[in-house]
Structure 1
């Protein structure tokens, strides 16, 4: 019995000593404790800052030109007005690029150039546009697009996803269908596997081409650090015009560089006769390329520049540049590793 009591007393003493130790301050030195508390506060603040979405105000955009021909100023005269590079809008888009890449993801690109992966099924709500083609409720054409099905629905798609747009792969739902979360478009959708190109979870989009259809210019940027981007070129460009049935506007949105051609041959309107070629062409959606000055002779020499660059939309959907700038983009923007963002 005495042994039992002694054990109880010993246990209580040990527990009390343990409790006393837990109540002791982390440091007996008040100055050292203040320093530790300060470091802990800073650490928590940094963690919270990392979780907070980036905004345009967080983006540092500095000029460090890698291509310095035909360079435009941030604002410049055009006829009786002034044109600009919309740097505030560009910073907003770069904040978006920063944000969607903060969490690990496996990326996919929607693809259906010339309906090579099969014509998309008819959406539930559609109309015919000025080009006599079927479009969804948002104006995206069926031709060259992928069908986006609402989650849980497989009978008919709700909308179309334009060729070249970016998404995150969320799951494989069936043998034929996958679930994606849009980056270039909003929401979560199901897409038949034939319409997606998986580009994996190791890709990083650190090269971005900005095309401005309002100011008719083009700007390239490269990521140099957290929220830090460097402007690599600032040039005139000419985008697509609205001229049915052959010429279409360059669509706005976020696209992935998908394909490159040293010479992109084109047909004469309404025929299958090759009229000429455009040099150093980087395709980003449908038949839209960033390319050099068109040469209306399949065997003609490359033309460096044109008076029409930076004036008014006049291409079929593409983005025309000085040919040496198109080559810079061609070499600099890697396939499935660079974005083209078209703003207005």
Structure 2
């Protein structure tokens, strides 16, 4: 139905990339619903452009600068800034029913059947099952509900400091509500639950429809080698849900990164993907800086060769030289060429020469 939509929120570029993967996963599983993303003003133009290619509606929300009732509530409870931003989903009144999904979720199969549920339907939280997890929930946009939620925030705050505490406090009959409002856990399979109750995951995990990457380390916090199909980062956390992490990175590297590359053009950006080029000296000699421009799409580029320092020095010579001003700017941005001109050996050599 045209008046039903999946909704997510991205407050910055990092969460925007999560929203991009979420949107692509919904598209890939043939959802018939509209896709909406609420974004903060901090989201860059390139990321906004990619989101507009994936989502039907991209709406900028910033309660800090609005003149509505949210602004008045914010003045009394500034600690709940992000929470107020999420509550904006109730203002999407041109939709009759929506499913909100956090940007750190990934859809594994079609979930359009969730729109058969009523407000407020959600899955239990793995930490305290009598509360629902606010990463996935069914709701009906309403300015009346929005106003009441803001009033609740102002008067009661949040017992956990975030949106989940607010929503559980406001929709406080969920625990005793009709079972139809309790979504099966497969619609919000949290990464935490995988390793806290591994037998259950082994039994039912194959039926999961949505995986939720809870915790401080998000999928986009890792590094991925598309060629080797290898994820690197926190070894402990990466092994908690390796299959789902691989699904996330495979979709991101194949579908999202090319769109980001188009938007950034020749402007460098960190995609999180490692590119490895196995070249011989003869191969490299026929390359020129123009051909090497594509390497700038990833600031974690590595060359693989068994020909040692001669290869590295030649690769360095072929890279376009930066002006003093450009090098200074990169240093200030924390992007020094530690493997090349700004390596420890080169700096030491310069200092020795100066002191002599």
* TM superposition score normalised by structure 1: 0.22
Q: Flag the structure with higher helix content.
A: 2
| Structure with more contact order per residue of length (Cα contacts < 8 Å, sep ≥ 6) | 1
Q: Which has the larger radius of gyration?
A: 1
* TM superposition score normalised by structure 2: 0.22
